[in-house]
Amino acid sequence: MNLVMGVDPGKSGAFAFLDESGEIVHLEDMPDHTDVSLGTQVAMLLDDVAPDVVVGAHVERQSIRPGQRGASQMMANYGALLGALGALRVPTVLVTPGAWKVAAGLRGKDKSASRDLATRCWPSWAESFRRVRDDGRAEAALIAIYGMEKNELA
């Protein structure tokens, strides 16, 4: 089985692994990167969840707004994530928030709309999107399905 990974790289982000049919196989919250480097944690996650079957990753592109607090740490983590995917030879496509949100009908909507849409798309995973802080899981899955529909990894 081949899996596609969607990544919402924010602090409250997550990883979603979808099979060829678009069904969620695994969801994982963004690891806490205080003890072990994020790159190492990503490598361990891929090894645990999907060794040799991840055919690609769709990662939400990060950018810094002027005056944004914590921007340097955010970009360091983003770089570590992309570096780990590159070192593991996982083909990666960066997806702008605007692109996937427009395609999903979420432009201008709050994060709860992402959770609601994910619940409708994957009702058997509804419990995983229940809490307010589960928006990263929902968005990672929606990013993955957007990427699969765009088929930019082929």
- CA distance linking residue 148 with residue 132, whole number of Å: 26
* Element at 100 (helix H, strand E): helix 97-104
Structure tokens at 126: 């509804």
| CATH number (domain holding residue 37) | 3.30.420.10
Average pLDDT value for the chain:
88
Contact 35, 44 (CB under 8 A): no
Q: How many domains does the chain have?
A: 1
Which structural domain range is residue 122 located in? 3-150
**Phi, psi at 123, each rounded to 5°:** -60, -30
For residue 91, is pLDDT > 60?
yes
68 residue type, one letter: Q
Write down the pLDDT at residue 50.
66
Stated pTM of the model: 0.91
Helix, strand, coil proportions of the chain in percent (round to 5)?
50, 20, 35
Partners of 92 in beta bridges: 57
* Average of per-residue pLDDT across 21-41: 82
For residue 72, is pLDDT > 80?
no
**pLDDT single digits (tens) 100-130:** 999 999 999 999 999 999 999 999 999 999 9
Lowest mean pLDDT segment, chosen from 14-23, 76-85, 122-131: 76-85
Write down the pLDDT at residue 153.
67
Q: Which residue would you say has higher pLDDT here, 134 or 87?
A: 134
| DSSP secondary structure code for residue 152 in this structure | T
Structure tokens at 123: 């009702």
Contact 29, 137 (CB under 8 A): yes
Q: Which residue would you say has higher pLDDT here, 123 or 46?
A: 123
Contact 56, 91 (CB under 8 A): yes
